[in-house]
Structure formats: C-alpha cells, structure tokens
Amino acid sequence: MKLTERQVLEQFDIVTRKQLRQWVHSGWIVPAQGERGPSFDDVDVARIRLVCELRRDMNVNDDAVPIILALLDQLYGLRRELRTIATALLEQPDEVRQQLKQALLSPIGQQH
C-alpha cells in the first residue's frame, strides 16, 4: 500500500512534516516520487518506525542513525544474497552439494 506524506504523518503523531522531509532529504527514508509528491510503501513506513524507535526509545542521536541504518541495510543485503546462494545450491545435484558441504566443514588450511 502506498501512502502520501499526509497519511504517513497521521500514522506517526510524533513525527513532524519538517522531520520527515529532513529524513527523506538525508536519505534515511527513500520514498518513490509520484506525481503528487513522495509515495511511501510498507518498507518506508517500517523504516520511519525504526527511526522513531532509535531516536525516542533508544536515545540514538542523529549522527548515529545513518550509521545504524547503513549497517542494517548491509545486513539485509547479505541475507538476500545468502538466500540466493542457498536457492542456487538447492538446485545443484546432490554430489555437488555434498562436495560443497565437505569443503565448508574442512578446517582452513586443510583444503587443497
């Protein structure tokens, strides 16, 4: 579901229009741009919720927020890559999967 800026602000009564626009300007939130302005999807809303929790509940300052968001983005990116690798491995013949399993279980330095 896509939400307008006004609809997002209605959901988050602790976020001001100025704050939301600053977060978008800073790249913390990256909504799609529609004909009538920014369009926020579920991921954007979850990210706004996270920023609110970081700042309010965890007392994270504005300098640390982009660092935390970048680290989370990296984590989720790596999880996507691992899912892709796991899917590709499942499509391989059993012999290939077993060889890979052995290689992964072998201590470093004992591989050929």
Give pLDDT tens digits for 12-21.
989 999 999 9
pLDDT (average), residues 79-95: 95
Look at 14-18, 40-44, 76-80, 105-109 and tell me which has the smallest mean pLDDT.
Answer: 105-109
The CATH number assigned to the domain with range 1-61 reads 1.10.1660.10
The residue type of 50 is: L
The answer to whether 52 and 12 have CB atoms below 8 angstroms apart is yes
Separation CA 54–CA 60 (nearest Å): 5
Residue-wise pLDDT for 39-60, tens only, equals 999 999 999 999 999 999 999 9
Q: How much of the chain, in percent, has pLDDT values that exceed 70?
A: 96
pLDDT of residue 10: 95
pLDDT of residue 1: 81
Distance separating the N- and C-terminal Cα atoms of the chain: 52
Domain ranges of the chain: 1-61, 63-105
Q: Is the pLDDT of residue 112 over 80?
A: no
Q: Which helix (H) or strand (E) holds 13?
A: none
